[in-house]
Amino acid sequence: LWMASITITMRHRSNRILHRVQLEIEDDLIFRGQTIIIPKSLRTEMLSRIHSHHFGVTKTPERAKDHLFWPAMTEKKSRTLY
């Protein structure tokens, strides 16, 4: 078992903090809190898996958001899940 923690901070050119995220790496998986960050190469497959277990318009995105993450996930999910 191997684990590491990384904090990424994005700043505006005025040095104001725009966004800070803590990532953890464990057994070749990258986590943002309790959610797994999905690499670009697996996003389409993960969307298909989420869709195949469709729990309704409200529950499906909630369940996905509880377990998975990638940048702009919300926009892509809404086009694919419904």
User: What HEC string does 3-67 produce?
Assistant: EEEEEEEEECCCCCEEEEEEEEEECCEEEECCEEECCHHHHHHHHHHHHHCCCCCCHHHHHHHHH
- 1-5, 9-13, 20-24, 67-71: which has the minimum mean pLDDT? 1-5
Put simply, whether the predicted model's pTM sits higher than 0.85 gets the answer: no
pLDDT at residue 31 greater than cutoff 80: yes
Mean pLDDT, residues 29-57 taken together: 82
Q: Average pLDDT, stretch 45-54?
A: 79
Name the one residue in this structure whose structure tokens are 């694919």: 80
- Which tokens sit at 4? 């590491």
Are the C-beta atoms of 54 and 81 separated by less than 8 Å? yes
